[in-house]
């Protein structure tokens, strides 16, 4: 095949993949529904993507409404989310088929235990921050959290099963506003 | 390089030979014409390529680090545009090289590696900007697939080596995250046209040697990872056959390599066979293996298990065909190393069906001892001190660890160490004398 043509295809693909990533994330941020998930930040590091605050959204398992559903490890799952009276989102059920409406997040199953309980990882586990600020963010969270009262949450946009973090809040203020 | 050294030595000798009347001036000139100039250009090209590639790698990694700093003063749009900057720069450099037909080794390898790092950097940075979850396996797979065309477009081998490392890492991450790594095999096949092209041109040039070494290493890791492991212990047979094939392929088709480092298959084959055989002298290898311990459900995929049998069957078939071919040649050293998979199959049957690990442990203890003796004898016969010492090392390690296991008394252990030491000294003295006599 012509070398120039191969080059043109390669460049197109190399530019298309990151562009597509950007376009799909922007679509979710602009059109997604807003949810608040309680979270707890800690401070690890990613060699390629730099410093981030790891988030633990607390809830990692759900008791199924239908006992007959069997999940395999790594299987795609749609977790249904619902907002409680205090305004925080929780996972209330898990389905194998894409549900109607927009109140679900697509993720994978860690494993199924005790027959009717499914463990999963919500794809809301990283909040990237500047190298100097990430450790301070963790410190800030520790100082602001008292026993039985965790004051950190993430604002999340959800659209067609994709969940995207919009911001990390401590004491109802964006984490960036503390620095 | 070795050839150049030899020719340089010959050219230095020519005036002496003419002076002594051994060669006439015309014959010396004919020799010069036949061998041609010593080729310093090749060396300069390689040096340039090395500096070019190191430079490209440093710049690429530096850019990734700068961006990873996370410039939170910039807006999302500004940071997104920045993610494209190194990618566009590297594409522009590639474009210049292709359209201006700049084809030096340094440009081809350096620009390709820079582009490879730039595409990885761009995807990573976008994941950072949008706080995407850290699914490293899909990141690696996208990155590698967008990089592999560079190998063919620029006829560059370093991206091929990086690609092999990348897909091996992907297969590991994929298996850890609960998926399976069967895709590794079609992915690795994408490198083969490039590899075979260079291998058929000159198998002992540095490019195919590097690629062969990378392939051997990646296969060594990926075979273990991509096996679904529904049948416990199948790895014993698969790895034994794999290293045997490496060794015998080198023996049959790449035996005229001028130097040891130019025989990566042989080196990995011998090293792999020896280390594996040593591992097989331990009891834990042979415990709980075979059909009685068949695993299914949870993280084990039955369908992917079928691929295990295919891989095992194919490797064993190739290995045994090559072993039969080798046995016909009646060469003690080569046959001794290559029979290892047959022993592995026999021992697997003993332990898998008969639940008897002691026979396997004994067979492999004796086999490793035998390999040590064969190395010592071949070294002495061929007068190669290195092989003799390797043989003594093999025996030494085996005896040393076995007698630590057996919890013998201090006196017995002392005697064993004295015997091992004496073997080293006697063999070396014997060989040194032989060498001296020869000189």
pLDDT of residue B245: 95
Maximum mean pLDDT: which of A63-77, B61-75, B122-136, B314-328: B314-328
How many beta carbons lie within 10 A of that of residue B213, not counting itself?
A: 16
- Top-confidence residue, B404 or B271: B271
Are the C-beta atoms of residues B388 and B372 closer than 8 Å to each other?
no
Q: Which of B131, B179, B302 to mutate to test the interface with A (most CBs of A within 10 A)?
A: B131
> Taking all residues of chain B, what is their mean pLDDT, rounded to a whole number?
83
Among B72, B87, B133, the residue with its CB nearest the CB of A176 is B72
Distance to chain B for A82, nearest Cα, Å: 22
Residue in B with minimal Cα distance to A130: B70
* CB spacing of A108 vs B149 below 8 angstroms: no
Among A150, A32, A168, which residue's Cα sits nearest to residue A102? A32
* Sign of torsion over alpha carbons B75, A35, A109, A55: positive
Tokens encoding A22: 């950007």
What are B390-398's contacts with CB under 8 Å, separation 24+?
B392/B420, B392/B423, B392/B424, B392/B427, B394/B274, B394/B278, B394/B368, B395/B368, B395/B369, B395/B420, B395/B423, B396/B372, B396/B420, B396/B424, B397/B278, B398/B278, B398/B281, B398/B365, B398/B368, B398/B369, B398/B372
How many beta carbons lie within 10 A of that of residue B192, not counting itself?
A: 13
pLDDT category at B214 given cuts 50, 70, 90 is very high
Tokens encoding A120: 């999963």
Residue in B with minimal Cα distance to A107: B133
How many beta carbons lie within 10 A of that of residue B385, not counting itself?
A: 16
Cβ–Cβ contact B69 with A under 8 A: yes
- Top-confidence residue, B6 or B120: B120
Which DSSP state fits B179?
-
Q: How far is CA A17 from the centre of its chain?
A: 21
Given the DSSP bridges, would you call strands A152-159 and A126-128 parallel, antiparallel or unpaired? unpaired
For A103-117, B199-213, B367-381, which range has the lowest pLDDT when averaged over its residues? Answer: A103-117
Among B367, B383, B371, which residue's Cα sits nearest to residue B427? B383
In the block, tokens 């010492």 appear at: B389
Residue B57 has pLDDT above 90, yes or no: no
Cβ–Cβ contact A164 with B under 8 A: yes
Longest Cα–Cα distance in chain B: 83
Q: What share of chain A is helix, strand, coil (3-state, %, to 5)?
A: 25, 40, 30
> How far from B148 is each of A2, A4, B239, CA to CA, in Å?
17, 16, 28
* CB spacing of A49 vs B68 below 8 angstroms: yes
Cβ–Cβ contact A133 with B under 8 A: yes
Residue B181 has pLDDT above 90, yes or no: no
Q: What span, in angstroms and rounded, lies between the C-alpha atoms of A76 and B333?
A: 53
* CB spacing of A14 vs B99 below 8 angstroms: no
Provide the number of CB pairs (under 8 Å) joining chain A to chain B.
110
Among B283, B281, B287, which residue's Cα sits nearest to residue B397? B281
Residue in B with minimal Cα distance to A74: B178
- Helix B385-405 × helix B264-279 angle, to 10°: 20
Domain range list for chain A: 1-31, 32-178
CA geometry: angle B412, B415, B420, nearest 5 deg: 125
pLDDT category at B217 given cuts 50, 70, 90 is very high
Among B220, B166, B224, which residue's Cα sits nearest to residue B190? B166
- Top-confidence residue, B131 or B325: B325
Among B261, B182, B269, B176, which residue's Cα sits nearest to residue B217? B269
Strands of A58-176 (E only): list them. Answer: 61-63, 76-83, 89-95, 104-113, 117-121, 126-128, 152-159, 162-170, 173-174
Q: What span, in angstroms and rounded, lies between the C-alpha atoms of A44 and A51?
A: 7
Q: How many CA atoms lie within 13 A of B193 on its CB side?
A: 9
pLDDT of residue B294: 65
Tokens encoding B241: 């056959």
* CB spacing of B146 vs A13 below 8 angstroms: yes
pLDDT category at A125 given cuts 50, 70, 90 is confident
- The mean per-residue pLDDT over the stretch B85-91 comes to 90
Q: What percent of chain A has pLDDT over 90?
A: 12
Cβ–Cβ contact A131 with B under 8 A: yes
Chain B residues touching A159 at Cβ < 8 A: none
> How far from A38 is each of A31, A171, B69, B333, CA to CA, in Å?
22, 11, 27, 67
pLDDT of residue B20: 85
Residue in B with minimal Cα distance to A24: B130
- Top-confidence residue, A50 or B267: B267
Distance to chain B for A29, nearest Cα, Å: 9
DSSP assignment of B285-299:
GGSS-SGGG---BTT
pLDDT of residue B1: 43
Distance to chain B for A149, nearest Cα, Å: 25
Supply the pTM of this predicted model: 0.78
Residues 1-30 in A contacting B (C-alpha not used; CB under 8 Å): 3-4, 6-7, 9-11, 13-15, 17-18, 21-22, 25, 29
Q: What percent of chain B has pLDDT over 90?
A: 26
Under the phi-then-psi rule, with left for phi > 0, alpha for psi from -120 to 50, and beta for the rest, what region is B403?
alpha
Predicted ipTM of the assembly: 0.78
Tokens encoding B295: 């695993």
Tokens encoding A162: 């994709």
Residue B125 has pLDDT above 50, yes or no: yes
- The mean per-residue pLDDT over the stretch B315-325 comes to 92
Q: What span, in angstroms and rounded, lies between the C-alpha atoms of B132 and A24?
A: 12
* SS3 call for B46: helix
Chain A residues touching B80 at Cβ < 8 A: 22
- The mean per-residue pLDDT over the stretch A24-35 comes to 90
pLDDT of residue B274: 92
- Top-confidence residue, B272 or A153: B272
For A24-28, A144-148, B310-314, which range has the lowest pLDDT when averaged over its residues? Answer: A144-148
CA geometry: angle B151, B157, B163, nearest 5 deg: 65
Q: How many CA atoms lie within 13 A of B227 on its CB side?
A: 22
pLDDT of residue B407: 55
pLDDT of residue B169: 92
């Amino acid at each position: 095949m012509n070398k120039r043509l191969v080059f043109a295809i390669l460049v197109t693909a190399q530019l298309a993949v990151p562009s597509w990533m950007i376009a799909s994330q922007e679509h979710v941020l602009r059109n997604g529904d807003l949810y608040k998930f309680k979270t707890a930040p800690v401070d690890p590091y990613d060699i390629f993507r730099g410093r981030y605050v790891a988030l633990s959204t607390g809830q990692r398992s759900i008791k199924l409404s239908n006992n007959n559903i069997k999940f395999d490890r790594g299987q795609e799952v749609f977790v249904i989310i619902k907002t409680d009276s205090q305004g925080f989102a929780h996972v209330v059920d898990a389905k194998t088929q894409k549900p109607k409406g927009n109140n679900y997040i697509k993720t994978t199953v860690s494993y199924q235990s005790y027959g009717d309980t499914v463990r999963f990882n919500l794809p809301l586990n990283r909040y990237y921050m500047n190298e100097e600020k990430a450790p301070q963010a963790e410190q800030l969270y520790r100082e602001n959290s008292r026993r039985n009262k965790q004051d950190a949450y993430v604002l999340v946009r959800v659209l067609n099963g994709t969940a995207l973090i919009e911001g990390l809040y401590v004491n109802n203020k964006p984490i960036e506003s503390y620095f | 390089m070795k050839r150049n050294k030899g020719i340089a030595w010959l050219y230095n000798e020519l005036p002496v030979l003419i002076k002594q009347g051994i060669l006439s001036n015309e014959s010396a000139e004919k020799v010069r014409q036949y061998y041609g100039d010593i080729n310093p250009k090749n060396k300069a090209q390689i040096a340039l390529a090395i500096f070019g590639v190191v430079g490209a790698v440093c710049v690429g990694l530096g850019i990734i680090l700068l961006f990873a700093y996370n410039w939170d003063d910039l807006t999302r749009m500004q940071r997104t545009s920045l993610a494209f900057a190194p990618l566009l720069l590297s594409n522009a450099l590639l474009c210049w090289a292709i359209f201006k037909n700049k084809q030096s080794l340094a440009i081809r390898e350096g620009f390709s590696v820079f582009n490879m790092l730039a595409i990885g950097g761009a995807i990573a940075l976008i994941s950072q900007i949008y706080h995407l979850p850290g699914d490293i396996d899909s990141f690696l797979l996208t990155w590698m697939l967008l990089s592999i065309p560079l190998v063919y477009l620029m006829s560059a081998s370093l991206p091929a080596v990086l690609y092999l490392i990348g897909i091996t890492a992907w297969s590991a991450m994929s298996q850890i995250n609960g998926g399976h790594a069967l895709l590794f095999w079609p992915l690795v096949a994408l490198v083969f046209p490039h590899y075979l092209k260079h291998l058929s041109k000159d198998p002992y040039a540095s490019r195919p040697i590097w690629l062969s070494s990378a392939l051997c290493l990646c296969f060594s890791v990926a075979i273990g990872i991509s096996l679904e492991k529904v049948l416990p212990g199948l790895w014993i047979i698969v790895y034994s056959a794999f290293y045997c094939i490496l060794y015998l392929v080198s023996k049959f088709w790449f035996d005229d390599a001028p130097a040891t480092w130019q025989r990566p298959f042989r080196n990995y084959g011998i090293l792999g066979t020896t280390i594996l055989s040593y591992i097989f002298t331990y009891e834990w290898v042979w415990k709980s293996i075979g059909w009685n311990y068949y695993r299914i459900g949870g993280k084990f995929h039955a369908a992917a298990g079928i691929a295990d049998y295919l891989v095992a069957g194919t490797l064993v078939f190739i290995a045994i065909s090559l072993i039969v071919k080798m046995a016909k040649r009646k060469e003690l050293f080569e046959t001794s190393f290559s029979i290892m998979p047959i022993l592995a199959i026999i021992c697997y049957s003993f332990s898998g069906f008969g639940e008897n690990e002691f026979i396997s442990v004994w067979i492999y203890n004796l086999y490793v001892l035998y390999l040590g003796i064969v190395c010592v004898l071949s070294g002495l016969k061929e007068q190669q001190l290195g092989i003799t010492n390797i043989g003594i090392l093999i025996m030494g390690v085996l005896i040393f660890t076995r007698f630590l296991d057996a919890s013998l008394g201090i006196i017995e252990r002392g005697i064993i160490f004295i015997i091992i030491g004496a073997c080293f000294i006697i063999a070396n003295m014997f060989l040194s004398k032989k060498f001296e006599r020869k000189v």
